[in-house]
Amino acid sequence: MNDFIISNIKKLKQKKIPNPEIDLRILLNYSKYKKYKNKNILLSNFVLDQINIKKFNLLLNRRLSKEPISKIINKKSFWKDDFFVNHFVLDPRPETEAIIDESLNIIKNKKAYLRILDIGTGSGAIAISLAREFVNAKIYAIDISIEAIKVAKINIIEKNLQNQIKLKHGSLDSIKEKFDLIVSNPPYLSKNEITKTGIEIKNFEPKIALDGGEDGLDFYKEFAKKIPKIMNKNSHMILEIGENQLKNCKQIFRYSSLNLLKKTQDLQKKDRIMVLSKL
């Protein structure tokens, strides 16, 4: 391993960047000259002449400032696809894939003609992943952030799903139709939790996608009041929740016309998903 590689791994380690070798390889591959675009750079076969050093140093400095790799390269993987992301949308995370899993558990017929609503679509990752699985579904994806809608539009067009997914800039109040499945990963951090988050989240993720109000439960309270009105008979809602929120969320939905069917945990054994059905 040459001095250039060793030196830059050391810089990343000094900033306590996890997986510095992986990050360095990604940054090198995104800094190479176009004529080497089809050549995958490995640390073991690295040749300095293949790299635009000025571009590499700019990207490296961004990573050293704790900017997530996904925001630097504008790409994040989720379910079966890669998605364009930027500072206006929350990075889709592995634990959120449980929403897709639970949708498939509930709806066995992948060719069913469903109406699905994705609330707070962000990058469009959930809506697109559901469109991939339920090929005849009509999906409405809404967000109150116009910048997020722009990002979702890029992803939907890139995957040629604009005939299946309808984007709408607006809040839940703008929805008048009824649905068979409603999904959401809403903002659920409390004011206190936001102040304690790491730099990668606090400085580089949109606050609008994190802030769930004073106690982090604002959106669940709104959903309990409004969602049942836009659900068809035998329909379901699947929600992601924050750790330690299950008890409060159960209480919130107890007095709605929705029944808690199940809850699932993430890989860290934290309660993460609620599946509800209309009574």
Core vs surface per residue 35-47: b (16+ CB within 10 A) or e: eeeeeebebeebe
Side by side, which strands form the sheet with 179-184? 165-169, 138-143, 115-119, 179-184, 231-240, 271-278, 258-265
- Single out the residue in 18, 38, 65 at which a domain terminates: 65
Is the domain of 167 the same as that of 47? Answer: no
Amino acid letter for position 266: D
Give the domain-ending residue among 65, 90, 117.
Answer: 65
Last residue of a domain, one of 20, 46, 65: 65
| 239 touches 273 (CB < 8 A) | yes
153 and 259 part of one domain: yes
Whole-number Å distance between alpha carbons of 59 and 184 = 33
Asked whether residue 112 is domain-assigned, the answer is: yes
Q: Are strands 231-240 and 179-184 parallel, antiparallel or unpaired?
A: parallel
Residues 218 and 131 in one domain: yes
Say if 70 falls within a structural domain: no
Among 116, 121, 132, 128, smallest CA distance to 232 is for 116
* Judgement on whether residues 149 and 251 belong to the same structural domain of the protein: yes
Q: Is residue 58 located within the same domain as residue 102?
A: no
Residues 254 and 217 grouped into a single domain: yes
Please count the structural domains in the chain.
2
Question: pTM for this one?
Answer: 0.94
Query: d(Cα 142, Cα 124) in Å, to the nearest integer?
Result: 9
Same domain, 46 and 160: no
Alpha carbon dihedral 170, 173, 175, 180, in 10-degree steps, equals 120
Question: Domain for residue 162, yes or no?
Answer: yes
> What CATH number does residue 141 fall under?
3.40.50.150
Residue 90 lies inside a defined structural domain of this protein = yes
Instruction: Based on the fold, state whether residues 99 and 229 are members of the same structural domain.
Output: yes
How high is the pLDDT of residue 271? 95
The burial of 233, by beta-carbon neighbours within 10 Å (0-12 exposed, 13-18 middle, 19 or more buried), is given as exposed
pLDDT value of residue 46 = 80
Rounded-to-integer distance, Cα 139 and Cα 116, Å: 5
Per-residue model confidence as pLDDT tens digits over 66-107: 999 999 999 999 999 999 999 999 999 999 999 999 999 999
Residues 89 and 41 in one domain: no
Same domain, 137 and 187: yes
Chain centre to alpha carbon of residue 125: 6
For residue 2, what pLDDT is reported? 85
Which residues of the chain are under the pLDDT cut of 70?
A: 1
Indicate whether 49 belongs to any domain. yes
Residues 54 and 98 in one domain: no
**What pLDDT does 173 receive?**
94
Residue 227 falls within a domain, yes or no?
yes
In a domain, 188, yes or no: yes
96 and 141 belong to one structural domain: yes
Is 71 within a domain? no
Residue range(s) defining the domain that contains residue 21? 3-65
Alpha carbon distance 273, 97 (integer Å): 10
- β-strand pairing of 81-83 with 76-78: antiparallel
